[in-house]
Chain A
């Protein structure tokens, strides 16, 4: 078996990465259009014309790549601030550098230098000390801290652990400086000009897509950043036919819509599909972002091929966060009773059918099988699976003959808990006659792996209960929940009384 994850390898230890490319290389990969819609790729030698258009190019790169913080034109770097400043000075004196900097030397526009110190806080005085080392650049324009036209940046990079915290933090728990750590040299210092950053994303701040501003949310809504990453892994683009079989509040499907995909979502839970009211439901979320209405159907993914004809594969991407019973229970059709009671004819169409518990092993087996059957060749399945520290990627992931495992991306959440975003690609045609065989082979290690998942909630609780202040904290949480509940009730009656009296 191939080892697909290399935990402890270098890239896994550097959550903050600086990738640098030659300017020409990047520009050669993209077409650059001017305001009249004409491709000006051939005129890139004219650096001044490149400026405005490259900004748009980078803005479009940034709008696609959720994890890229900014695109910077690198002017110099070194292992200390001084050596970085020297390398910038060297640049300013060579032919290419002179051309590059000359634009800025005659500019009378506003500018500022941002100081980005990774994993540690430096006060304004300390930051200005760093800025002073670059004063030889002598930008003629005026300094403007808020939204200047040109933004330069000094990045001071230090060593971070895999969770993004400094290995040798500058300050202790009580914010006091730890001299031994403070004396340590940085990994590197960079200086450059920002060509595009999060502010350029889709013409507004990335925060616009944050869950905080969303109309309809639930406990299982996926955070917008992870949804964006999932759509990238799923290669969702304009015209992609996207499917989420556990659509819930539609947070992942919404991101597919933002990427230009056609959105179809199903769920077995009618209440979550219909939302809380006319003004608080999945459709409202899509409307909020000016997207087309998604298609929603209440159906059971365990019975996908009974609800839908599957003779031809149709989906380009299936992107979802299956229910593992941690934050929301998984359900499927059927009654837990051995002799289910018949529903009287006249109520059949309206009666909310009984559902029963859906084991994680079946959730995943059905998901993979539906994906194998309904994805087009080359289509992608992207899903999330939670895991505790005993997870083994070589044996604990579900498999399917028709699907190839492409990527596994690990995200730590708590000490014991993390989640993996798994990407699979359809590589083989599905044969409906082999359905039983496919399903049987999903868990190569038996269903132990699936049970590990299923028991996560229990296991987290076990770990939590061992902590000394567990009882105290649990009691506090309960009290707070009751208080919030009562406050909401009071507010509701107050509003009602208000509207009744007007």
Chain B
């Protein structure tokens, strides 16, 4: 699971409306550099929730592999500054790319902030199916 995907995921267990963003308790994280496409990242920015991205990044840095966090995971600013034409500085775009695409939570759990319900992640695939009594 990449942090971009986490940006959209929520818990609606028993109809809760406070199931976003999900907490991340990662037990295995992998890092895989991928090709950077500035245009793609620029187009993606208005579609994501930046606060959630920062939150997710913090979760990853705190638990999981600490050495990994130190060496590879970049730091992101509190907010994204755009220039006159709404363009973002390329260095920042590269960091955003790394955070959104190159960090993979391979094993772990996503936790609903309201109900505490845990959704597991195995082989990088989160299992979000709700049980009949949670619908």
Contacts and interface: CB of A to CB of B under 8 A. Distances in A.
Given A293-B104, A312-B46, A353 B130 contact: yes
Given A239-B37, A296-B124, A348-B117, A353 B10 contact: no
A480 interface: no
A352 B127 CA distance: 9
Nearest to A354: B132
B27 to A, nearest CB: 13
A348 B37 contact: no
Contacts of B131: 340, 343, 348, 351, 353-354
A309 B48 CA distance: 10
B66 interface: no
Interface in A330-357: 333-335, 337, 340, 342-343, 348-355
Interface string B99-130: 00100100001000000011110111111111
A340 B133 contact: yes
A201 interface: no
Given A297-B9, A308-B8, A308-B10, A333 B132 contact: yes
Given A295-B2, A309-B10, A349-B118, A303 B126 contact: no
Contacts of A273: 125
Nearest to B111: A349
Given A343-B131, A349-B119, A298 B12 contact: no
Q: How large is the interface on B (under 10, 10 to 19, 20 to 34, 35 or more residues)?
A: 35 or more
Residue among B10, B34, B46, B133 with the highest chain A CB neighbour number at 10 A = B133
A306 B127 contact: no
Nearest to A298: B127
Contacts of A353: 129-132
A264 interface: yes
B14 to A, nearest CB: 11
B43 A239 contact: yes
Interface string B10-47: 10100000001000000000001011010110011011
A215 to B, nearest CB: 15
B5 interface: yes
A299 interface: yes
A296 B125 contact: yes
Nearest to B10: A309
Contacts of A270: 125, 127, 129
Contacts of B12: 306-307
Given A262-B40, A349-B117, A298 B125 contact: yes
A314 interface: yes
23 contacts: A239-B37, A239-B43, A262-B40, A270-B129, A293-B104, A295-B2, A295-B4, A295-B5, A297-B5, A298-B126, A298-B127, A306-B10, A306-B12, A308-B10, A309-B20, A333-B130, A334-B132, A334-B135, A340-B133, A343-B131, A350-B120, A353-B130, A354-B132
Interface of B: 1-2, 4-5, 8-10, 12, 20, 32, 34-35, 37, 39-40, 43-44, 46-47, 49, 101, 104, 109, 117-120, 122-133, 135
Interface of A: 238-239, 241, 262, 264, 268, 270, 273-274, 281, 283, 292-293, 295-300, 303, 306-309, 312-314, 333-335, 337, 340, 342-343, 348-355
Shortest 10 CB-CB distances between A and B: which pairs? A340-B132, A335-B132, A349-B118, A306-B12, A239-B40, A353-B129, A299-B128, A298-B127, A308-B8, A353-B131
